[in-house]
Structure 1
Amino acid sequence: SEVLASAAALVAEYNGIEKEGHVKEKISHLIGVAELVFAAGQASAYRAEKSPSGTFIPDEILTNAGRRLAGEEIYNEYKVVAYLAGGLVATLPFEEAFYAEEIGELANKYLKRNPRIHPEKIHRCYRGLENMLVSDLACVMQVAGLHGGGSPQMETITMMGRYDLDSLKSIAKYLFGIEGSLAMYDRKTVTPRKMLERFRILLRGH
């Protein structure tokens, strides 16, 4: 997410549109997603439990919540970068054109968007965006962003299987007058060890 937010901010500056309200709105959204994913990772580490072996196991709810947000937003993030870059990422002249004796000067002249930015830097930026958005690898990275490390369905299974929904519903029951009291809501850390304990109990029952 930070890489895409970085690309969006850079191309907005190089296009001279970084101060436009709608541009700030889109870049701030990318930054927000990146920070929320990072925050979920930090929080899951903070709530980690120490295993008997000495390793620490992060909170499963938070890790999956962060991963889910990152996966669900990946295509929108690419869309924002493409929106700010414009169609030039798909129609950029070949590399040789910018150094050709006959047309190199013209290629650099008409590539220039922001008078404060040298055309060579704009060229480098758009060549990078070309690789990021319209190359063969770009397609792989987008799908990997959604499914890499586990598809969204796995995050759904994990969160719905581990989350204490009864305790969660007690908040609404209290607020809606269904129950007269409410204990302090404090979601406990959830790790795979909890699921292993459930399996052991089930096996003992058989």
Structure 2
Amino acid sequence: PPPPLPLPSSTVEGGEVGGATKRLAVRDGPPGGEAVSLTCAAVVNAAGLWAQRVSRCLLGVDPRRVPPLALVKGSYFALSGCRPPFRHLVYPVPGGGGLGVHLTLDLAGGARFGPDTCWLPPGTDPDALDYGVDPGLLPAFQAAVRAYWPGLPDGALQPGYAGVRPKVAGRGQPAGDFLVCGPEATGAPGVAALYGIESPGLTASLALGKRVAALLAGR
């Protein structure tokens, strides 16, 4: 068999997936890069923030079965100049849209707090996201952390990093769950799609893979 064809930083620009043989139009690299046509027997759409976009560009996937996309930005602040008085993770009672500003410890002994929950405007382009951390969030983070660590020193929190998580339920709606859609749900044979795979999607990736394989096998 031919060797695998790695396409890092590739973009699915369209395709026809309604028949037994699927054809995908893929552009490798930045705009203007080489266009590649791929033929395959099955398609798994695990494109994260872009999953809805990918499904809608594939002829054969029922667009009525593609869920809406809501994006939530979450920022983290890192602890600097001291160590936390904890040897374990700390999760406060969760609020709307997230698990709250919790404490995570890394293998080097560092600590970070987050994420917060910042709903992005409907229709936000996943290609134009701002991953910067707003220093103006510091007072809110200090208050959230001091709810379970009253002794947090002033000046100990520094802007860390931010991420954006995809959701299938918008602001004010009941929380959604991972959507793992097999051929029956996508409307296309041999096509699976995963929507709203936010945290802990990476942790659950092996279980998600097994579920997708079972759906494609008709189980």
Decide: shared fold, TM above 0.5. no
- Structure with the greater alpha carbon radius of gyration: 1
Q: TM-score, normalised by structure 2?
A: 0.20
- Structure with greater helix share of residues: 1
Q: TM-score, normalised by structure 1?
A: 0.21
- Structure with greater strand share of residues: 2
